[in-house]
Chains A and B, each alone.
Chain A
Amino acid sequence: MKKDDPKSTETKCPVYKSWRELPHVPISRGMKGSIGETGDWRTYRPEIDAKQCSKCGICYVYCPDGVILFQEGSVPSIDYTYCKGCGICKVKCPKNAIEMIRERE
């Protein structure tokens, strides 16, 4: 349970019920979504038009949150659980194949 164990391989954020269980400081390791489901922050959702996409992978390279999944030769996909909708992929896409669509309730 100790978050500060340097050898910990835990991949989930621990849940603390009492301050008495807390380590001195919070730290994070390389893991998915250490701060929660940041897709909730999104106002505009990037959508890739598979027909226009040239599968270059530039959006994957520029995504600051690493939420674009890309394999050589296929259209990238976006992990909407964590994508914050910043729109950098749209700006960087050389084919203009990404559209930002306003999220509805």
Chain B
Amino acid sequence: MSKIKKTEMDKEQTIIMSGNYASAWGAKCSRVKVVSAYPITPQTTVVEKLADFVEGGELDARYIKVESEHSVMASLVGSSMTGARSFTATSGQGLLYMTEMLHWVSSSRLPIVTTIASRGIAPPWNIWAEYTDILSVRDCGWIIQFASTHQEIFDSILMGYKIAENEGVMLPYFIVYGGFTQSHTSKPVRIPPQKDIDSFLPSPPEKGWSHLNLDPENPITHGNLLMPQQEYLDFRFLIHDAMMKSKKVIQKTITEFKKSFKRNYSGLTENYKCKDADVVLISYGALAEQSKIAVDELRKQGKKVGLFKLRYIRPFPNEELEELFNSGVKAIGIADQGTAFGNPTGGPISTEVMSLLRLSGKKIKVLPYVWGLGGRDVTVDEQIHVFNQLITLKNKNQYPTDDTFQHGTVWMGLKTGV
């Protein structure tokens, strides 16, 4: 096991690494104290790398091996309650298996950070990029952020802990990226000097979190019964309230991050050439990043199109979308890389955007999309096709006429025998 030389940690390094390793490095550089993990494709190499770090003495942490993802999160509930910075990573079925404990974490207001290498849900088995795993736990009280690049995965973990551990937030934090397309591809990632990371992200308070701290000297019980007329409802509201108010802390943290490391993230959303656009596509994840190429291509043809990338879906970027609706945009497409069977639209996020649009009172034409399920390729050409469909909708008020348009949603790539 090669030990990192101290001199190397003192200066910035650029290392070519996979998205999963960027996740492991993010946890290491955040100096997490407890890692609990159960391996699952495509997350596996995150927790393998962390095991390496702990075993090699590069990360001073306890590594807890357990028999399931449910136990992963249960053990982190325990560790986080002692004030220890706690980390795990999972994917697909593993995240679903963890679901009950996700509520224990958010409702105990524990600032655990977890990365998700998202994959399709079985059956039939599928291990490739799709976000139905995270989208189906979107209402668990966790902050949910998408990372579209390897660097963003690493950086987001540092920011994630800072946001989650903020006294006024105290909510757990998901960082999500696509299985294989991001988890297993390699790109350069810049690792800042550890001392700079330490001053951006100091250790949690020695005496534990002020709201909940397991301490044998001061025994407490947590999570016990509240009767209907007691404050159960009120504590639910507090979680929602903290989530909504976390937006300010997110913005502040991004600003501080830029000051410390000279890398800028736009905020809850990223607005790419939307300013004068009359057709905008709203999307998230790596496919949204790719849409920028489609936008550039169409801009060359003089078409006023833009991309509106959601970096966060919890908290939901209401204000940013409100601004978009007021920008003069005429037609909006919303592309979900995940399903919500029986939803008003085929995907969950398109429904949420449409409900906000209704509240804004703007008469903007909307077309929801479901794309990229189970890692199905979505090419730049197909994204250009999406924009052209939206342009047709704007100009002629004409919805797609081919067989992929079903129940008011376009299922991109649906096999129609053509």
Contacts and interface: CB of A to CB of B under 8 A. Distances in A.
Given A24-B170, A24-B238, A25-B108, A7 B218 contact: yes
Given A19-B234, A22-B238, A4 B224 contact: no
Interface string B221-241: 111111100010011011001
B221 A25 contact: no
Interface in A21-38: 22-30, 34-36
A35 B219 contact: no
Nearest to B217: A6
B222 A27 contact: yes
A35 B225 contact: yes
Interface stretch (B23-31, B208-216, B378-386): B208-216
B235 A26 contact: yes
Nearest to B169: A24
B235 A22 contact: yes
A1 to B, nearest CB: 14
A19 B235 CA distance: 8
Contact of A27 (B212, B227, B238): B212
B212 A24 contact: yes
A35 B224 contact: yes
B90 interface: no
Contacts of A36: 227
Interface string B108-147: 1100000000000000000000000000000000000000
A34 B225 CA distance: 10
A24 B107 CA distance: 9
Contact of A19 (B218, B220, B224, B238): B238
B111 to A, nearest CB: 11
Contacts of A30: 219
Contact of A34 (B109, B210, B224): B224
Which size class do B's interface residues fall under?
20 to 34
B108 to A, nearest CB: 6
B49 to A, nearest CB: 33
Nearest to B108: A25
Nearest to A8: B218
Contacts of A22: 231, 234-235, 238
A89 to B, nearest CB: 22
Nearest to B219: A30
Nearest to A6: B218
Given A29-B220, A35-B225, A36-B227, A6 B215 contact: yes
A79 to B, nearest CB: 19
B282 to A, nearest CB: 33
A19 B211 contact: no
Nearest to B213: A6
Contacts of A34: 221, 224
Nearest to B212: A25
Contacts of B211: 4, 23-25
Interface in A7-54: 7, 16, 19, 22-30, 34-36
B109 A25 contact: yes
Nearest to B241: A19
B166 to A, nearest CB: 12
Interface string A64-100: 0000000000000000000000000000000000000
Contact of A25 (B215, B218, B222): B222
A34 B226 CA distance: 10
A13 to B, nearest CB: 9
19 contacts: A4-B210, A19-B231, A19-B234, A19-B238, A23-B211, A24-B211, A24-B212, A25-B107, A25-B211, A25-B212, A25-B222, A25-B223, A25-B235, A26-B226, A26-B231, A27-B222, A28-B220, A29-B218, A36-B227
Interface of A: 4, 6-7, 16, 19, 22-30, 34-36
10 shortest interchain CB distances as A-B pairs: A24-B211, A24-B109, A28-B221, A19-B234, A27-B220, A4-B211, A6-B218, A27-B222, A25-B109, A25-B212
